[in-house]
Structure 1
Amino acid sequence: MSTLVAISLTTGILSGLWGWVAISLGLLSWAGFLGCTSYFASPNDGLKGLAESLVTNLTGVFWAMVIIHASQFASLEIMGYVITAIVAFLMCIQAKQSWLAYIPGTFIGSCATFASDGNWKLVIPSLILGGIFGYLMKASGLWVHQKSKQSQPMSEVPSRS
């Protein structure tokens, strides 16, 4: 079984499970899929990639809340755009810290927060569990691929003559 087929298989199974878990826990299934996507798109694999995607997702939630709250205090509409510009700059410049270098993760967390109308208390656990599910999807797919390589069909076993 190819790596792609194995990861596709486990991703399909765990995506269905995630949908059920999200609804059962009252979480945002779509935000969890954003957390999952963030992990899959991360430049690093394994636990480092998971940590990197989760940390940047959470900073994105923070920055979105800064924009939401700061814009409420701005009396002119144009100030909301200025605040957004400044915060977007900060979201990118934070990447000077190596552990915050995954800029798309920051924007994913921010977008999830905006899409939920600032409901960060619901977005955060959804992103975190979604990211964990993403990690499990890939890790279990790699495990299935490795196991399928180890099993050898009987036709390839040398016969006694």
Structure 2
Amino acid sequence: MSTLFTISLTTGILSGIWGWLAVSLGLLSWAGFLGCTSYFASPKEGLRGLAESLVTNLSGVFWAMVIIYASDFLSLDVLGYAVTALIAFFMCIQAKKQWLAYIPGTFIGSAATFAAHGEWKIVIPSLLLGGVFGYLMKSSGVWLHRRAQYASAHSTRQSA
């Protein structure tokens, strides 16, 4: 079994579990899949990648809410666009800080918040649990691959 196969297998199984859990808990399953995707696309591996993915997702939620509230406060649409431009700058420049360096994670959190019409109280747990599921999908797939390799090597030695 290849690593791709085992990660695909565990991702498939855990995706079904996530879908059920999200509905059961009243969360946004699609936002959870964004959190999962954010982890999978993260340049860092393991718990470090998960932490950076989650922190940047949360920063994106924050920045989206700043845009939403500031735009609601301003009476001219063009000022709302100016706020969006300014905040997008901050969303990128915050990458100077190591824990906020994963810019796509910030934009994923922001996009999820906009898609949920600013309902951050449901977006945050959806993104967080989705990110954890992404971590579990990949780490369990890697574990299964190692286990299968060990079992294969062990059975080959016993046959010889």
TM-score, scaled relative to structure 2: 0.97
Name the CA distance, whole Å, in 2 between partners of 1:76 and 1:88: 19
Q: Does 1:110 align with 2:110?
A: yes
Name the CA distance, whole Å, in 2 between partners of 1:135 and 1:62: 23
Post-superposition, which runs of at least 4 consecutive aligned residues in structure 1 deviate over 3 A?
Answer: 153-159
Structure 1 residue 75: Cα displacement:
1.2
Structure 1 residue 157: Cα displacement:
3.6
Q: Does 1:35 align with 2:35?
A: yes
Q: Which of the pair has more CA radius of gyration?
A: 1
Name the CA distance, whole Å, in 1 between partners of 2:148 and 2:75: 62
The alignment covers a number of residue pairs equal to: 159
Higher helix residue share = 2
Name the CA distance, whole Å, in 1 between partners of 2:159 and 2:145: 24
TM-score, scaled relative to structure 1: 0.96
Structure 1 residue 152: Cα displacement:
2.4
Structure 1 residue 73: Cα displacement:
1.0
Deviating more after overlay: 7-16 vs 146-155: 146-155
Aligned amino acid, residue 26 of structure 2? G
Name the CA distance, whole Å, in 1 between partners of 2:117 and 2:60: 14
Q: Does 1:91 align with 2:87?
A: no
Aligned amino acid, residue 52 of structure 2? E
Aligned amino acid, residue 120 of structure 2? W
Aligned amino acid, residue 87 of structure 1? I
The 3-state SS of whatever aligns with 2:145 is: helix
Aligned to 2:134: 134
Structure 1 residue 155: Cα displacement:
6.1
Name the CA distance, whole Å, in 1 between partners of 2:105 and 2:38: 6
Aligned amino acid, residue 97 of structure 1? K
Q: Which runs of 5+ in 1 are unaligned?
A: none
Aligned to 2:100: 100
Name the CA distance, whole Å, in 1 between partners of 2:156 and 2:29: 45
